Amino acid sequence: MAKFLIVEARFYDHLNDMLVAGATAALKAKGHEVEVITVPGALEIPGTISMAAEAQIYDGFVAIGVVIRGETYHFEIVAGESARGIMALTMDGIAIGNGILTVENEAQAIVRADPKQKDKGGEAAIAAMALLNLQNRFN
Ligand SMILES: Nc1c(NC[C@H](O)[C@H](O)[C@H](O)CO)[nH]c(=O)[nH]c1=O
Ligand SMILES: CC(=O)[C@@H](O)COP(=O)(O)O
């Protein structure tokens, strides 16, 4: 059994609830322990995972959030920089699944967040578990 931390940017409550439920269910189905930390927005996720990884309490991480395009360039910053930060941590060997939705509208987000539809939270958890398995294999 491993210990996973879900770091969720709680920007849209109803969408987050579905993503976190999907991720939690996937991790618990494999017998893992799950904790959840909430941060204000997707831009805070990589830094939070970095701090948590330094603490050496968790074996893996799932990033959860929703970024919906607005009127300005802000979407590109939040979507791109959160993904870039997560990828940088992944390249450092930290087992992370990226479950941050980057979508055009709420309808797209609902389909992807819902565990009974695309279940992107569950998908991110499965990715995190896969990376942890690889980490254990190579270390
Ligand atoms: N617009 C969205 C944000 N924006 C907030 C940033 O992530 C960040 O919290 C702020 O700039 C302070 O550093 N975050 C999301 O998760 N989703 C959005 O759609
Ligand atoms: C992430 C976004 O683009 C959004 O929340 C911000 O909207 P806007 O660009 O209209 O300020």
- pLDDT tens-digit profile of 63-72? 999 999 999 9
Q: Please give the distance, rounded to the nearest whole angstrom, from the Cα atom of residue 90 to the centre of ligand 2.
A: 27
**Whole-number Å distance between alpha carbons of 86 and 111:** 23
Provide the pLDDT for residue 54.
98
pLDDT at 139 (0 to 100): 86
pLDDT tens profile 108-124: 999 999 999 999 999 99
Q: In terms of Cα–Cα distance, which of 106, 58, 90, 11 is closest to 20?
A: 11
What's the whole-model pTM score? 0.97
CA 97, chain centre distance (Å): 6
Could you confirm whether domain 3-138 is CATH 3.40.47.10?
no
What ipTM, to 2 d.p.? Answer: 0.94
Distance 31 CA to ligand 2 centre (A): 38
How far apart are the C-alpha atoms of 131 and 93, rounded to whole Å?
A: 9
The domain segmentation of the chain, as residue ranges, is 3-138
78 lines ligand 1 (CB under 6 A): yes
